[in-house]
Amino acid sequence: MSTTETSYMPMSTTTSKKSFVVTWLLALLLGGLGIDRFYLGKIGTGVLKLLTFGGFGIWTLVDLIITLTGNQKDKNGQPLAGYQENKKIAWIVTAVVWILNVVVSMIMLFSGVLAIGSAIENSPSLSQSGGGTVQEAPAPADSEAPAADTSVPKEYQSALTQANSYAKMSLSKAGIFDQLTSEYGGKFTPEAAQYAVDNVDADFNANALKSAQVFQDDMAMSPDSIRDQLTSEYGSKFTAEEADYAIQNLK
């Protein structure tokens, strides 16, 4: 047979039908909502990522880096289409977006400091009276202290209500506290948040086990890696005892 008659069998491809560009843009812009994982068909981890606000930002960042390095796969474990052709521009655009976010955050922080300073300066309680002295608060009518109010403050009750909702999302006690006090979450005072986590109705051993099961089934993590993720201050923040319970009861 001549070389001109030689036929070549087409190579089978294992590349996913899911686009790298689409996955990257979703991870960059909507990663905190888990939309990138929904797109890849990973519904279970997509829901968990949505309910935990992108794993408090950590999971969002991890998924974005995994996508940018070409290690993100679809639900069938196949690599995404178009990675080699678009990886360079994806890295450049991501870097630009991060830099802009840092600049905008610094501007907002500076503006906030100025606003607080202006509010303090213009506060009536700190303004001077006509005699040039600072006004003092009036003395109490009598020296006897008022009876303590034994009712739970409304803010504490609201914090507890939110804490019970977060507990159903398989969060740890520390994770619930962070979410309650976060400026992107409940914005409760530390005192209200502490009351809430001290009184929340939750089985944190069970929550740790649920999270561990997701890490094992959907992210193929080893027991040691799962334990590190469960106890990490940048991860789930479960106690060592709760993490041990989870590892011992993985199926």
Cα–Cα dist 193/167, whole Å: 13
Question: For position 170, what pLDDT does the model report?
Answer: 82
Give CATH 1.10.10.10 domain extents, the chain: 154-248
Record the tokens describing residue 251, joined without a space: 């199926």
Contact 217, 190 (CB under 8 A): no
Answer yes or no: are the C-beta atoms of 83 and 20 closer than 8 Å.
yes
Please give the structure tokens belonging to residue 107: 């501007």
* pLDDT tens digits, one per residue of 154-194: 999 998 999 898 888 888 989 899 888 988 778 899 998 99
CA distance 152 to 173: 21
How far is it, in rounded angstroms, from Cα 236 to Cα 27?
20
- Does the pTM surpass 0.75? The reply is no
Reported as a single tens digit per residue, the pLDDT across 49-84 is: 888 887 888 988 898 999 989 888 888 888 998 888
| 119 vs 210 pLDDT, higher one | 210
Rounded CA-CA distance 50/35 in Å is: 8
* 60/53 Cα distance (integer angstroms): 9
Q: How confident is the model at residue 148 (pLDDT cuts 50, 70, 90)?
A: very low
Q: 154-248 has which fold?
A: Arc Repressor Mutant, subunit A (1.10.10)
| Model confidence pLDDT, tens digit, residues 88-143 | 999 999 999 889 888 888 887 777 777 776 666 665 554 444 444 445 555 555 54
DSSP secondary-structure letter at 130? T
